[in-house]
Amino acid sequence: MGVKKFNPLTPGQRFRVAVTKDELTKGAKPERSLLTTFGSTGGRNSDGHRTMRNRGGGHKRRYRFVDFKRDKEGAATVQSIQYDPNRSAHIALIQHEDGEKSYILAPKGLTAGQVIYSGRGAAPEVGNCLYLSEVPLGAFVHNVEMQPGQGGVLVRSAGNSAQMMGREDRYAVLKLPSGETRRILITCRATIGIVGNVDHSLEILGKAGRMRWKGWRPRTRPVVMNPVDHPMGGGEGRASGGHPRTRKGLKAKGAKTRSRTKASNALIINRRKTGK
């Protein structure tokens, strides 16, 4: 993987930085049995009322069913590495020994033709799914479960990984990408390796139209609004707008939103880095 720049033949290409597709399998087409259509809401709820601003339009997409549980034990062969328009990571099409096919998140270094395993006794190699009780100390994992059998919910975006720091009684201690260190039951599963497409964060779209293709409409900055439209609006000239607020007047930055009485607080050893 790497990034590539473009000659400024058009204004949109002048600053664009794209990620190369070297990891993807050439000529691979989506598996039809794992595809489904889904519509876009345009930021509107079931009543048709707009509950999310700045959404609408976008390219038509089809959803790929990704197996986050990896609960089918045994060996599977990687058929291809494919692009998924619904997530930053690439996905891998695998075929199990009984012929069933499924999609999984493609970790860095996974290639077509490779054999991967899931279940107890699997080696701690890239792409294999293990219980946290069997993951070696210091290993990097992704697609981590929070409840046994739930399916991976943590560490699923491109280039991310969590590190196994140790074990305490019936818990494994993981350091998450946010910097948070927390306990997770050792009966939960995780996949060995770092999520692929690691250069995704280096991508620069280059023009506003590419955001429109993703379904994002233009956003008006609050400081340029009138006082009747936003608490940060108004003022003479280029006023800063004061403390960041929402349209309802609530603090927009720095206010704690996590409940102090949440049960899982006891499992957090060190909170995430806040940048302060």
Give the pLDDT confidence of 3-34 residue by residue, as tens digits: 999 999 999 999 999 999 999 999 999 999 99
Q: Which of 155-169, 220-234, 249-263 has the lowest mean pLDDT?
A: 249-263
Using an 8 Å Cβ cutoff, are 88 and 177 in contact? no
CB contact set of 52 (below 8 Å; sequence gap of 6+): 43, 44
- Cα-Cα end-to-end distance for the chain: 33
Q: Is the pLDDT of residue 254 over 80?
A: yes
CB contact set of 106 (below 8 Å; sequence gap of 6+): 23, 81, 89, 90, 91, 92, 195, 196, 197
Per-residue pLDDT at 272: 86
Give the fold, CATH level 3, of 3-200: OB fold (Dihydrolipoamide Acetyltransferase, E2P) (2.40.50)
- Residue 162: strand, helix, or coil: strand
Q: For the chain, what are the domain ranges?
A: 3-200, 228-276
How far, in Å, are 94, 223, 225, 232 from residue 236 at the CA level? 61, 11, 12, 12
Per-residue pLDDT at 275: 58
Per-residue pLDDT at 241: 83
Per-residue pLDDT at 221: 93
**pLDDT, mean of residues 231-245:** 90
Residue 276: which pLDDT band, with cuts at 50, 70 and 90?
Answer: low
**228-276: CATH architecture:** Irregular (4.10)
Average pLDDT, the chain: 94
Using an 8 Å Cβ cutoff, are 268 and 178 in contact? no
Residue 256: which pLDDT band, with cuts at 50, 70 and 90?
Answer: confident
Per-residue pLDDT at 41: 93
